[in-house]
Amino acid sequence: MADGEADWWKGAIIYQIYPRSFQDRSGNGIGDLNGIRQRLDYIAGLGVDAIWISPFVKSPMRDFGYDVSDYFAVDPLFGSLEDFQALIREAHQRGLKVMMDQVLSHTSNEHPWFLESREGRTNAKADWYVWADAAPGGTPPNNWLSVFGGSSWQWEPRRGQYYLHNFLREQPDLNYHCPEVQEAILEVCRFWLEMGVDGFRLDVCAFYFHDRQLHDNPPAEADLTGSHFLFNPYSLQSHIHDISQPENLAFLERLRALCDEHDGRVLLGELNQEGGEQLHHEYTGPRRLQLAYGYWILGADELDAASIRQIATDLRFGPDDGWPCWALDNHDFHRAVSRLGFEEEPDAALIILIALTCMRGACCVYQGSELGLPNAEVPYDQIVDPYGREFYPAFHGRDGARTPMPWDATKTHAGFSEAEPWLPVTETHSKLAVAQQETLPGSTLNRLKTFLNWRKDKATLRQGDMEFLDLPGNVLGFTRTLGDESICCLFNLSSDEVLIELSADTQHVPMEGHGFAAVFEDNRIALPAHAAYFGINR
């Protein structure tokens, strides 16, 4: 494999697919692997480089695939191993890499490993999960909390002990202090690498290890007044003992070494909110993750040029720094059009997404973002997300970002399925369906397709160094430089036209074909609202 091919992930656009909601081919109202295969031409046509498929391995679906009961099998809801092999083959034929979600911090409580572990304290898998005796009086061993509410400890009468679960009680945490667990997980990853996947998105990869001494977490130091996380007491602790332990790094190095045995494979890690910048520096260090993302932008209720620039500055973007993976939307957060208050001007979300694709790093585009979908309103009686049902009505959960992809407003359930979908297709989404937008030259879909396909062969925008420009107002600007070529990138994130005056010694040749209009004359650029400008200096 050529060096450039091995570094395909630098500047890659990764299209995230939530398989339950992408395309149903089996007729049961749930999307599947063959549905993804059916839409590969559409995905390739967007101008992306790779797909990341959220979990599709065998699971009781208490957390919709993030509770694995068999790491080596495709869940029958989604198809078979043969279907996945066909998907890899056909994606590769279209020049698309395939990344799969790996949920390695915990399993389902129906996984055979856990069923054996819970039976007693002396069996072969007794130490494969995190077990602890009760504190005096029978209470849990410490104050650790679950992300999904309540204590992160669940009593198991068969062993007379508590087990740790950072999420649902049906998702017991693996004990990575046990060497056999690490070996078993590496075998899982080797299986899929040998099948041909091009990398892994590592779910909550800072959660693998815990403090052996089970020390209590201290209270959070940050002022959470007004925080949208305040509905969940998990935010009131500083999670210095239950997650983000130093041992994580050594295991990630082992996993990276395994991936490096196979050419061009990439690790994309999900980092947690607390201390995310420092984790990014550590986790994307040499021989660790190639890419990582946190919640800096995904969790933001407001974004402007200054805040985006500050996030990038905190993460650092020098030649020797790690590479972030930018994301405006994904399956865990309300869609940006609604979250950022852009339902009346979706171009405001589009220009932020396009700006992120031009910054140093990779970028994930979540299914439906290319359509400018707002968050769907899902009535309480149709909410299935356990997180949403636990904290309703303070938090309505994640289902609004997980509803089915609208393909054609003229078809049943917008072309997603002939059967009743597992989540509803809203009228708002149907109006923004793919078939309807494809016929409109100025649609969000067509504008993003035009831009991503233009960007695709711009090595400087994908791999170049980045330097920010000092610009007035809500304009984000930077240069990307690779060798002798430098590209000036300007993004007007405001709702008004902005006049930018470049320095007299700046010699730009405006670039064309990206789909944005700006007037460049005498080193002055008239940049319309929610528009971009690209100028090249060779």
Strand pairing report for 485-492 and 475-482: antiparallel
The position carrying tokens 């040998």 is 194
User: In sequence order, what are the beta bridge partners of 478?
Assistant: 468, 489
Catalytic residue among 203, 242, 370, 385: 203
**CA-to-CA distance for 51 and 44, rounded, in angstroms?**
9
Catalytic residue among 261, 263, 418, 512: 261
Q: What would the two tokens of residue 362 be?
A: 């990779």
Nearest to 269 by CA among 387, 402, 103, 63: 103
Nearest to 215 by CA among 249, 247, 239, 236: 239
CB atoms within 10 A of CB 285: 15
**CA-to-CA distance for 199 and 180, rounded, in angstroms?**
23
User: In sequence order, what are the beta bridge partners of 57?
Assistant: 74
Q: What would the two tokens of residue 294 be?
A: 């946190």
70 is catalytic: no
Beta strands in 212-308 (DSSP E): 266-270, 291-293
Q: What would the two tokens of residue 505 be?
A: 């010694």
261 is catalytic: yes
Contact by Cβ (8 Å): 365, 14: yes
The position carrying tokens 């789909």 is 515
**Is the C-alpha dihedral spanning 440, 332, 295, 42 positive or negative?**
negative
The position carrying tokens 């303070």 is 394
Residues in the chain: 538
Bond into 374 cis (ω within 30):
no
Q: What would the two tokens of residue 528 be?
A: 């319309």
Residue 321 carries which DSSP code?
Answer: S
Contacts of 402 (CB under 8 A, 6+ apart): 18, 20, 21, 331, 385, 423
- The residues annotated with a catalytic role in the active site are 203, 261
